[in-house]
C-alpha cells in the first residue's frame, strides 16, 4: 500500500514536472530576463494622443509568457493624455510629481507620487500633470485581441481646467 502511494505520488510529480517543462518550452524565456535601462527607448508622446510635452519609455512589451506591458510616462506641467479606454483596464503607479486623472462623468482627482490608480476595463478616462507640476507614472496594461488602448478625443482646455 505504501509503495503504491509512493508510485502514485511519483507519477503525479513526474507529470507535473513534464507539464512545467512543456510550459517553459512555450515561453519566450525560461530564465530571468533583464531589460537594461540603456535598451529602453524614450520617445516624445504623439500629438495625436497627448497635449503638451509628454515622454514615453517602453519598459517592456508583452510576449507569449506575459500578456501585459509597462511604460514610464512623464508629463510636463499642463500636459495630459487624450480621453481613452483600455479593454482590460490599466494600472498606474505614480512615481513622481503631482497629477490629475478623471473618468468620464466624474470629478478631476489629484494624484501624488506613491499613489496607485486602477482604471477598470472600458472606463473612459484621461490622466496627466497639473498646470504647475510635472507627473510621472508607470502604466501597466494587458492586451485584448492585440489591443491595449482605444484613443478617443483630446481633453479640451475647458475640461482640463474645470
Position 70 scores a pLDDT of: 94
pLDDT of residue 36: 86
Q: List, for the chain, all residue ranges whose pLDDT scores fall below the cut of 50.
A: 1-25
Q: Are residues 100 and 56 in the same domain?
A: yes
Same domain, 80 and 115: yes
| Cβ-based burial of 135 (10 A; exposed 0-12, middle 13-18, buried ≥19) | buried
pLDDT of residue 153: 98
Tell me, yes or no, whether 92 and 149 share the same domain: yes
Q: Are 90 and 80 in contact (CB under 8 A)?
A: no
Q: According to the model, what pLDDT value does residue 34 have?
A: 84
Are both 137 and 108 inside the same structural domain?
Answer: yes
Class of residue 84 by CB neighbours under 10 A (exposed 0-12, middle 13-18, buried 19+): buried
The DSSP output letter for 131 is S
For residues 45 and 27, give the distance between their C-alpha atoms in angstroms, rounded to a whole number: 31
pLDDT digits (tens, 9 = 90+) for 133-162: 999 999 999 988 888 999 999 999 999 998
Number of domains in the chain: 2
Range of the domain at 135: 37-161
pLDDT given at position 109: 97
Amino acid at each position: 500500500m505504501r509503495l503504491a502511494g509512493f508510485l502514485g505520488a511519483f507519477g503525479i510529480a513526474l507529470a507535473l514536472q513534464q507539464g512545467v517543462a512543456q510550459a517553459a518550452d512555450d515561453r519566450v524565456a525560461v530564465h530571468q530576463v533583464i531589460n537594461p535601462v540603456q535598451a529602453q527607448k524614450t520617445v516624445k508622446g504623439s500629438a495625436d494622443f497627448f497635449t503638451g510635452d509628454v515622454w514615453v519609455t517602453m519598459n517592456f512589451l508583452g510576449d507569449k509568457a506575459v500578456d501585459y506591458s509597462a511604460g514610464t510616462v512623464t508629463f510636463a506641467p499642463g500636459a495630459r493624455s487624450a480621453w481613452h479606454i483600455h479593454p482590460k483596464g490599466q494600472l498606474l503607479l505614480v512615481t513622481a510629481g503631482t497629477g490629475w486623472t478623471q473618468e468620464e462623468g466624474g470629478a478631476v482627482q489629484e494624484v501624488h507620487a506613491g499613489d496607485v490608480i486602477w482604471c477598470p476595463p472600458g472606463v473612459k478616462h484621461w490622466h496627466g500633470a497639473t498646470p504647475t507640476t510635472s507627473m510621472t507614472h508607470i502604466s501597466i496594461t494587458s492586451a485584448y485581441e492585440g489591443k491595449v488602448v482605444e484613443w478617443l478625443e483630446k481633453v479640451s482646455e475647458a475640461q482640463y481646467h474645470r
